[in-house]
């Protein structure tokens, strides 16, 4: 495939060299003449393991070249990968200036290279493809490429250009900002006359070449199926699962990954600070922690749902934060876990109040399914808040019977919901008959059966019901976090 890569920084340079080494014909595009000159001479603009030899070999074989001419690059290729920077603005917001300029240029190049619109004058002030470094320079006049088509089997969507954004950008940036720019400047329709996709990168500086050829996953946010087919063809044969998703999901995936990586590092560092203050070997502690692949290093607990509770997590978090404070160790991440959990509970409460109904049915009361433990259950807290605001509440939990509650469990519920006996119903159907608003905190079969007859009642889903995807089309359904 013939590919133009916009931006010859770490992501662009690695993508260009690796794709060229995989047999594609690649043109690197950058406003910085030094970067263009380096690639032209077979030298990599960045320091990275293996990138020097890959770049030298790709240039020597004719698979990779570089230019500052946007129109020529777009006109001579089938796909444009946009790898320019999206740095933070002083207020923390995302700067899309480089993305917007490249979208304008690619749009104009598409207009110049399309028979139906050839000769159409570009509007606005000419700009250049720009990376975070360097000073923009005026673009040379557009030229039409004469390069022969690359050999091989064309991907689905061949015959139209496909613009693929690799830059990290917030959800909505592509469809709400960049696609309109491309359409305005080209006079063409995205998804019909040209393809658009988002393909976030998961490359770590220092190991980016290895990461390119051995990715943990490939994410393709596709405007239409043909656009996704083109991107999939770029990475054909590489390991890792391929996810073809809506564009906004692809945009969010990159931020989710990086946020979690930052969270993991901060968590380990705060545990290390506490261990040091207590005279413990933090690496020995983390070795034991990492050995648990069932709960700790696993997908466990990583599905959005309701707040956590129970007799362990809240108590132990409080104890650990207290121990850190006594040792004069600041642990802002750990100290904010419980406040974050309480904010999530508040979101659920606000969903109920926004529904407008005063008769509420609560399905589930224990802190998690399959137990009758009510200690620090977020469902108990939610019930308490609703009662405090005067809601007419009925509760069903197949595992909770007032007569069977004993010990600390009974003492806890007596202090939080002393009239629980008056609120508990014997069946899910009774609660459904009472409720205008159904708050679902469990997936018991009898609850699912009852909800099949919910009709026009509002359903506040805290657990993501099995048929949540279908229910989302119903105006009365609201999910917490989905």
Residues identified as active-site: 312
**Count of CB atoms situated within 10 Å of the CB of 174:** 27
Greatest alpha-carbon pair distance for the chain in Å reads 85
The residues with which 28 forms a beta bridge, in sequence order, are 5, 66
**Count of CB atoms situated within 10 Å of the CB of 463:** 20
Extract the tokens encoding 201.
């990168």
Closest CA to 211 of 11, 402, 348: 11
**H or E element: which one contains 163?**
strand 162-165
Torsion angle, CA of 264/266/267/271, rounded to 10 degrees?
A: 140
Rg (CA), the chain: 28
Question: How far, in Å, CA of 155 to CA of 344, rounded?
Answer: 45
Extract the tokens encoding 46.
């960045």
**φ and ψ of 30, to 5 deg:** -155, 150
Question: How far, in Å, CA of 343 to CA of 445, rounded?
Answer: 29
- Is residue 443 within 8 Å of 463, Cβ to Cβ? yes
């Amino acid at each position: 495939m013939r590919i133009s890569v916009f931006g010859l920084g770490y992501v662009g340079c690695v993508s260009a060299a690796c794709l060229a080494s995989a047999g594609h014909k690649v043109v690197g595009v950058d406003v910085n003449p030094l970067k263009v000159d380096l690639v032209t001479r077979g030298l990599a603009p960045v320091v990275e393991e293996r990138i020097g030899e890959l770049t030298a070999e790709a240039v020597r074989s004719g698979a990779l070249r570089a230019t500052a001419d946007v129109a020529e690059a777009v006109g001579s290729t089938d796909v444009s990968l946009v790898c320019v920077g999206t740095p933070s603005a002083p207020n923390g917001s995302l700067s899309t200036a480089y993305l917007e300029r490249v979208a304008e240029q690619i749009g104009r190049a598409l207009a110049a290279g399309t028979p139906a619109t050839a000769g159409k004058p570009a509007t606005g002030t000419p700009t250049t493809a720009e990376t975070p470094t360097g000073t923009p320079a005026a673009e040379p006049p557009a030229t039409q490429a004469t390069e022969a088509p690359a050999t091989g089997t064309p991907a689905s969507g061949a015959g139209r250009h496909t613009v693929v954004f690799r830059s990290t950008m917030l959800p909505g940036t592509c469809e709400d900002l960049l696609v309109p720019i491309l359409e305005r400047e080209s006079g063409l329709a995205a998804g019909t006359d040209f393809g658009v996709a988002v393909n976030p990168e998961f490359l770590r500086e220092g190991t980016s070449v290895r990461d390119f050829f051995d990715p943990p996953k490939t994410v393709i946010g596709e405007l239409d199926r043909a656009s996704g087919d083109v991107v999939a063809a770029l990475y054909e044969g590489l390991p890792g699962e391929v996810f073809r998703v809506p564009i906004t999901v692809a945009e969010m995936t990159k931020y989710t990954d990086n946020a979690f990586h930052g969270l993991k590092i901060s968590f380990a560092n705060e545990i290390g600070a506490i261990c040091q203050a207590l005279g413990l070997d933090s690496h020995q502690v983390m070795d034991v922690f990492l050995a648990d692949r069932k709960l700790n290093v696993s997908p466990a607990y990583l599905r959005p749902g309701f707040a956590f509770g129970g007799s362990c997590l809240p108590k132990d978090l409080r104890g650990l934060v207290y121990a850190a404070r006594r040792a004069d160790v600041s642990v802002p991440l750990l100290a904010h876990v419980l406040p974050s959990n309480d904010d999530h509970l508040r979101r659920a409460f606000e969903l109920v109040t926004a529904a407008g109904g005063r008769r509420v049915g609560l399905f589930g009361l224990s802190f998690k399914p399959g137990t009758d433990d009510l200690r620090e259950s977020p469902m108990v807290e939610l019930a308490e808040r609703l009662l405090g605001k005067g809601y007419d509440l009925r509760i069903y939990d197949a595992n909770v019977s007032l007569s069977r509650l004993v010990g600390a469990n009974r003492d806890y519920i007596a202090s939080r919901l002393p009239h629980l006996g008056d609120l508990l119903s014997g069946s899910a159907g009774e609660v459904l008959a009472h409720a205008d608003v159904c708050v679902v905190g469990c997936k018991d079969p009898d609850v699912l059966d009852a909800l099949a007859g919910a009709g026009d009642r509002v359903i506040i889903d805290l657990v993501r019901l099995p048929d949540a995807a279908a229910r989302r089309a119903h105006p009365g359904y609201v999910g917490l976090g989905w």
